[in-house]
Amino acid sequence: MLSSFLIAVTAVLPFIVYLSFGAISRRVGWVTEDFLDKLNAVVFKCFFPFLMFWNLYHVDTGTPIRGRFLAVCVGSLALLILLLCLTVPRLVKAKDKCSVIIQAAYRSNFVLFGIPMAQSVFGDEGGAVAAMLVAIVVPIYNAFAVILFEYYRGGEIRPLTLLKNIVTNPLILGALVGLAFLLLGIKLPTGLEKPISEFSGLTTPIALFCLGGTLHFSAMKHNRKYLYPVLGLKLLVLPLLATLISSLAGFSNVERFVFLIMSGAPMAVSSYTMAANMGGDGELAGEYVVLSTVLSLATLFGFIFVYNMVGFIG
């Protein structure tokens, strides 16, 4: 039991440190929120592509990535989105809240949490499996989010604009270039590999530092009826279902773990930005980001602890 506890602490503690340092830095005046917003944009546009590239570029080509794993993950995500679209509008009449609730339930901060957590627990193999799944699910996240908000605010959905937004996403570009280098066997000189590796290593600490410095707890009482059910679904029910599905599908331990993080990671910070700028309830979206980020540290810790106890890690 002690070893399970230590593995869970090792996986979650760095996230707590990075988030806390960001929050403290803003609180004492070392950084401003405007600075953090600009730095966060740099991380998204510059650092994340390096992370995505590096995780695929240096993967061991002998690592088996089964098509069934990717198919089950994508199929489960598509089914979840479909069920949310059928049920949420029946329960919530306000259109600006419908779009935010559906996004909060299906869209996770998988890039920021999935790759580093998988790498922390399973090493390079975990990082590679997570990066490959990220390259597939992030376009789905982004494409459906655009469709969702345009639909609920009565806007026109333009296929070419949607395709351009997906293809030009920095995360997707980094993943595609890394995958191309991997499949073609292209090797960079050591003088280039080192800075790319170091930029990749900076991504998670800086991104979490920015996130910690921009989280706010506002008055949440009037949104409690929307917050608690969705957070329970996102952080507890979906990870449990992912564990059941992955076990029935015969996933390996690393695949099961990556699917768990994809299902149970907190709501992506960009979800708030999109909601606030595309007719959604920005206040509700911000509350989902804050609460899911804080609570997920506890729920993911619990799942990692149990996974190790039952032999799903190792």
Q: Note the pLDDT of residue 299.
A: 93
C-alpha span between 18 and 206 (Å, rounded): 8
C-alpha span between 151 and 125 (Å, rounded): 39
Q: Is the four-CA dihedral 262, 263, 269, 270 of positive or negative sign?
A: positive
Count of beta carbons in the 10 Å neighbourhood of residue 153: 13
Q: DSSP alpha helices (H): ranges in the chain?
A: 2-27, 33-42, 48-57, 67-91, 95-106, 110-152, 159-167, 170-184, 190-214, 224-232, 238-248, 253-264, 269-277, 282-309
C-alpha span between 173 and 118 (Å, rounded): 21
**Residue ranges of domains in the chain:** 2-216+225-309
**Nearest by Cα to 81 from 99, 67, 94:** 99
pLDDT tens by residue, 281-302 = 877 888 898 888 888 888 998 9
Q: Note the pLDDT of residue 237.
A: 97
C-alpha span between 99 and 93 (Å, rounded): 11
pLDDT tens by residue, 110-156 = 877 888 888 888 888 888 888 888 878 888 887 888 788 888 877 66
**Contact assessment for residue 208 and residue 22, using Cβ atoms and an 8 Å cutoff:** yes
Taking the model in full, what pTM does it have?
Answer: 0.80
Q: Which residues contact 19 (CB under 8 A, 6 or more apart)?
A: 208, 209, 211, 212, 215, 293, 297
**Weakly modelled stretches of the chain, pLDDT under 70:** 1-8, 59-65, 155-157, 162, 166, 217-220, 273
Question: CA of 187: how far to CAs of 124, 190, 191, 256, in Å?
Answer: 18, 9, 11, 31
Q: Note the pLDDT of residue 154.
A: 72
Fold of 2-216+225-309: Na+/H+ antiporter like fold (1.20.1530)
Q: Note the pLDDT of residue 175.
A: 80
